[in-house]
């Protein structure tokens, strides 16, 4: 069980406390316990509504002690319990109401979330995350000829053992759905290339954490990669919608 008087302080304490600090000073405070934290990470958590610092008339952030403690709580829940931000937000809201919360044991999955926020930092060898070719064809409801063509364009790639990641089923279904609108595999190569570039950007951010000797830090890298991937997808959707609005009166 966990209960703390500072759980909800981040949304109001700063206004009642003159001991405010800049985002750079906050970073220095947090890095003693969280050496991997960055200013970009703090800004991301702010954008996700997990902390609400004051703003000066010129727009500069001013964090109070409550904001710093709230950020530390978020980072601990990510690092020690591998919770996704949605669950962390719910826990912090519960703490702000004076409720007790139960966190999964440190270093273990949260069953309610499916574990590690969707990522397993130390996956055991398993066939559950793989599907065979016949299973892929049946699950995606596509033909052998379609799959072979998509593979030739790099839209779907089998593993070295000839099986497929479970995500390949989703890709196959989406490619088939787009095909019904006349979009052929050759048209989708640009999407594949864009996805590779986005994955490369995510890898640049998390690579230093993945090389860390601490397994918890490596697990944190995987959770961070998932968050970045989700943000990238949301940005892509927003950019496509914006582009369409400028083309379709």
**pLDDT at position 159:** 85
Confidence of residue 155 (pLDDT cuts 50, 70, 90): very high
Percent with pLDDT over 90 in the chain: 14
Instruction: Among 85-89, 215-219, 245-249, name the most confident range.
Output: 85-89
**Angle CA 57–61–62, to nearest 5:** 95
CATH architecture entry for 9-113: Orthogonal Bundle (1.10)
- Whether domain 128-183 has CATH 3.90.1530.10: no
CA 28 to chain centre: 24
Contact 159, 195 (CB under 8 A): no
Torsional sign, CA 14, 19, 22, 25: negative
Domain ranges within the chain, ordered by starting residue? 9-113, 128-183, 187-249
Find tokens 């499916």 and name the residue.
114
Decide: pTM greater than 0.75: no
Asked if domains 9-113 and 128-183 share a fold, the reply is yes
Q: Which residues have a Cβ under 8 Å from the Cβ of 63 and sit 6 or more positions away?
A: 14, 20, 21, 22, 23, 25, 26, 51, 53, 54, 71
Tell me the per-residue pLDDT of 194-243, one tens digit each, with 9 for 90 and over.
888 888 888 888 888 888 777 777 778 888 888 888 888 888 888 888 88
* pLDDT greater than 60 at residue 14: no
Contact 119, 222 (CB under 8 A): yes
Find tokens 């919608």 and name the residue.
241
Average pLDDT over residues 77-84: 80
């Amino acid at each position: 069980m966990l209960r703390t008087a500072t759980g909800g302080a981040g949304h109001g304490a700063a206004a009642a406390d003159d001991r405010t600090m800049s985002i750079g000073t906050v970073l220095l405070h947090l890095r003693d316990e969280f050496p991997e934290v960055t200013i970009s990470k703090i800004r991301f958590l702010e954008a996700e509504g997990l902390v609400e610092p004051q703003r000066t008339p010129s727009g500069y952030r001013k964090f109070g002690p409550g904001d710093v403690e709230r950020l530390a709580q978020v980072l601990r829940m990510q690092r020690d319990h591998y919770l996704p931000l949605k669950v962390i937000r719910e826990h912090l809201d519960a703490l702000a109401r004076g409720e007790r919360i139960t966190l999964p044991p440190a270093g273990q999955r949260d069953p309610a979330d499916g574990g590690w926020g969707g990522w397993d930092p130390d996956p055991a060898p398993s066939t559950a995350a793989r599907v065979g070719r016949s299973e892929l064809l049946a699950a995606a409801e596509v033909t052998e000829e379609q799959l072979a063509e998509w593979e030739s364009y790099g839209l779907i790639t089998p593993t070295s053992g000839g099986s497929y990641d479970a995500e390949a089923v989703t890709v196959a279904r989406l490619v088939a759905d787009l095909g019904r609108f006349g979009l052929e595999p050759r048209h989708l190569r640009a999407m594949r290339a864009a996805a590779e570039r986005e994955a490369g950007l995510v890898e640049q951010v998390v690579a230093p954490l993945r090389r860390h000797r601490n397994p918890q830090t490596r697990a944190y890298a995987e959770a961070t990669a998932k968050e970045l991937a989700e943000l990238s997808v949301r940005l892509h959707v927003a950019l496509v919608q914006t582009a369409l609005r400028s083309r379709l009166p």
